[in-house]
Chains A and B, each alone.
Chain A
Amino acid sequence: AQKVTQAQTEISVVEKEDVTLDCVYETRDTTYYLFWYKQPPSGELVFLIRRNSFDEQNEISGRYSWNFQKSTSSFNFTITASQVVDSAVYFCALSEAQGGGATNKLIFGTGTLLAVQP
């Protein structure tokens, strides 16, 4: 069965600190997709990144970076120089592959609440 674990329930940092959100996943599939979503208080889930299981290259987008390690089944997310606007719940998610692409059936973790204090 597929499972996503986000062990950190809540993290509190001071603005400009770096913070890493952990994500560990379980799947028997050889091809799968991993995601990160941000959920601000408004409730809308905002897509941040999607990676497939064959692409283990780390990715950087501005202050965001992701570290994908198949050997440890982890897909961690780092925010550099955090800002108050980064305060939100962050979800890691996993989907199986179907026809070579990701399906819309995402398995989400329980989320990590990030609070960035000014």
Chain B
Amino acid sequence: DAGVTQSPTHLIKTRGQQVTLRCSPKSGHDTVSWYQQALGQGPQFIFQYYEEEERQRGNFPDRFSGHQFPNYSSELNVNALLLGDSALYLCASSLTDTQPRHSYNSPLHFGNGTRLTVT
């Protein structure tokens, strides 16, 4: 049973460039969330995708955008890269239960992350 997989593992980009990070959720999961983790800090929530739509968003500028595909995989795009965008980008998946009066969102399962370095 494959867990959350992310690609690439490492990436080096130049300021002003654009980058796309990819994530495949754990088998059976339908919701994908993205987090940014700066060195020495805790992860910060970027956004969450469910049913191919952005459902929640953290305090990140519009340069950060995403997409979810019918197979539940997801992409994170960052435009006009800044030095401050250098971080570990973590993808997390979960199963969303939409039954009324019975709420169960499974705990987040994280991937190993993509280490983005902006020079």
Contacts and interface: CB of A to CB of B under 8 A. Distances in A.
The reply to whether chain A is a binding partner of chain B is yes
Contact of B31 (A100, A104, A108, A110): A104
A98 B50 CA distance: 15
A81 B41 CA distance: 27
Nearest to A99: B103
Contacts of B97: 101
Given A47-B107, A91-B42, A111-B42, A104 B92 contact: yes
B42 A50 contact: no
Interface in A29-49: 35, 37, 42-47
Interface magnitude class on chain B: 20 to 34
Most chain B beta-carbon contacts within 10 A, residue among A43, A101, A109:
A43
Nearest to B34: A104
B94 interface: yes
Interface in B37-61: 40-45, 48, 56, 58
A2 to B, nearest CB: 11
Nearest to B102: A100
Interface of B: 31, 33, 40-45, 48, 56, 58, 88, 90, 92, 94, 97, 101-105, 107-113, 115
A45 B88 contact: no
B41 to A, nearest CB: 6
B107 A50 contact: yes
Given A44-B111, A45-B90, A104-B45, 4 more contacts: A37-B110, A43-B90, A91-B43, A107-B45
